Structure 1
């Protein structure tokens, strides 16, 4: 334990814990209540008679996830999986979506990143016996349903989507008719939201936890489902074919880049020092935090607009969990506790907090990869088992879809 963390432990009863801390990602970021998975689910299914619900979420196979992925998604997936609610969590490693990158990946690179992503999910606490975990490309129904949905997808709606513009570094108001985007844009990237809709509707998902930047895509998914339901009906029940999924945006802070704290932490950033990966060693974590960008303002204060670097460090500490915070206090509530620290001591405190949280994940990841090396079928077997479970659910949906369309039996 660093001297700064030790001093905090003495003066402020500081201790670290694995917790499900939720807060608002815009405006005044405060924690009004401890939002448990059960509360989240109850909010979305109020009034429903059947207790069983499906939660679906996907992750790109970019290799080892970073701290932002973990705090914003993986830790919450784990808590949801371990809750006592009637829920089936479906977590998909979306390797078909990975083909939409501007620069195509080499086959060997994608293959390795898929294995690293799967191992990371397991190391972070996802249990293949409690959750359905599989590779998107292993289930052909994703592509089939995408084509079916594409037949009624609006080009105008897709043109208004911001994801393809963001990937191509274009302004949000860019038009498809302009010569430059039209020549460079690939169909896979443009139709990305249709495949995402197929991923979700294939499992008849009730809840889709995503970041705020994906809200537009979930709204598009609901529109596709409504459009299909208006045209086609379940031939057996004469009811709707697809459920309308509800979006859940976890009220957690966005973890920002350590080197450019006005941008969110990302695997695509060219500097490795911009992010903390789940398998980073203790030394690597401390080194990256020590080099993290702050400012020349004296003291410790929380102001994401004026002091994005310092505020990001406080956000990380807050999201990791602090038992002394009352129900009405947000990350700014940490400032009195941290005010005696220098910037260097703050960085060391954050590094120690991150290392404490990630150490068991790092150790488990090493053991998983070691076991997979000794038994080359270890990760493959987990992926295949997950695919078989996913296939049963997906086939049930596709049987209804095919009958509704007229080419099923």
Structure 2
């Protein structure tokens, strides 16, 4: 890996239909972070089975598709790590330790569990309830210092910090005795970047863009070709008013705010700058410009993803090599955890 002092960890679930929201909210940032941090990027396939049974063939396809997205957006597997979670058993091993550190009350307050479990919480899987402990293990098994997160993941990162702090406090004397100083696990910091950390549906600006929306016109998939991208933007829901010249003029216009935010992020500019350029224009004019920008940015990624998906042997090789690198780091952490907690480990 590149020799930087700090390490970034992030993961993406292989649950199908990667879309513009995944790209702008997460994956787009990953390549840029390579220039400043050691980066570990994970396809979190163990998380994908917490809510429901996945079709095995489709899950394998989706693991490779997320990997293809990482590669197509410019992540370098030679200098950083790309792998899938289930090939590194230390994730699950550390998650069990964290299940014994985390408190039931902490996990019960997680809003994502409440949302996903709904009213039928008694039938939710234990895996869904303990999901945040595994997420904490994903991050801390590499002793990551920074995590790029969207607004919907901030609570889980706060829990990760709580788990790390409690572990450090509970075994403070043992951590010091093993020569690790005042703390074993760092308290990872959030990296919230960019204008559009939360991308909304193209059909309803009050709802987050989602792969589960029944309308394919609600989202731009990362595998969409140029024609599909342009068509979806032209058909995106808007209101009849022209664009304002100031940001405060779109705060109560969710569809307008969403499209302007997408344009700003794709062009690496601000919402104010976009409105200064297009203020007073009709949406037909703005949509045409947005379609051009989106096709220019996204169509090459889609083309490269399709090329990579035709070479599954290469993708599997990247994952195998990345998993080998990841296990070196993860094993070192787990050896330290076992020594601190008092578990015997294989010293051969």
Q: Specify the alignment match of 2:48 in structure 1.
A: 98
Distance 1:309 1:238, change over 3 A: closer
C-alpha distance in 1 between matches for 2:155 and 2:257: 28
Q: Specify the alignment match of 1:151 in structure 2.
A: 100
How far apart are 1:292 and its partner, in Å?
0.8
C-alpha distance in 2 between matches for 1:51 and 1:140: 26
The one of the two structures with greater contact order (alpha-carbon pairs below 8 A, sep at least 6) is 1
How far apart are 1:51 and its partner, in Å?
5.6
**Secondary structure, aligned partner of 2:221:** coil
Q: Specify the alignment match of 2:62 in structure 1.
A: 113
Give TM-score, length-normalised by structure 1.
Answer: 0.78
Give TM-score, length-normalised by structure 2.
Answer: 0.91
Gaps of 5+ in 2: none
**Secondary structure, aligned partner of 1:377:** helix
CA contact (8 A) 1:56 1:205 kept: yes
How far apart are 1:194 and its partner, in Å?
0.4
Q: Specify the alignment match of 1:236 in structure 2.
A: 178
How far apart are 1:313 and its partner, in Å?
1.3
How far apart are 1:251 and its partner, in Å?
4.3
Deviates more, 1:377-386 or 1:339-348: 339-348
1:66 corresponds, among 19, 25, 47, to 19
2:142 corresponds, among 193, 203, 217, to 203
Aligned residues: 335
C-alpha distance in 2 between matches for 1:156 and 1:236: 31
Q: Specify the alignment match of 2:193 in structure 1.
A: 250
C-alpha distance in 1 between matches for 2:257 and 2:121: 40
Gaps of 5+ in 1: 1-49, 170-179
C-alpha distance in 2 between matches for 1:266 and 1:130: 32
Map 1:8-407 → 2, pairs under 5 A = 52-81=5-34, 83=35, 85=36, 87-101=37-51, 103-169=52-118, 180-232=119-171, 233-234=174-175, 235-237=177-179, 239=181, 240-253=183-196, 254-296=198-240, 298-301=241-244, 302=247, 303-321=249-267, 330-339=270-279, 341-370=281-310, 372=311, 376-407=312-343
- Greater helix content: 2
How far apart are 1:340 and its partner, in Å?
5.3
CA contact (8 A) 1:399 1:408 kept: no
Deviates more, 1:255-264 or 1:89-98: 255-264
C-alpha distance in 1 between matches for 2:17 and 2:23: 10
Distance 1:304 1:196, change over 3 A: farther
Distance 1:345 1:148, change over 3 A: same
C-alpha distance in 1 between matches for 2:334 and 2:158: 22
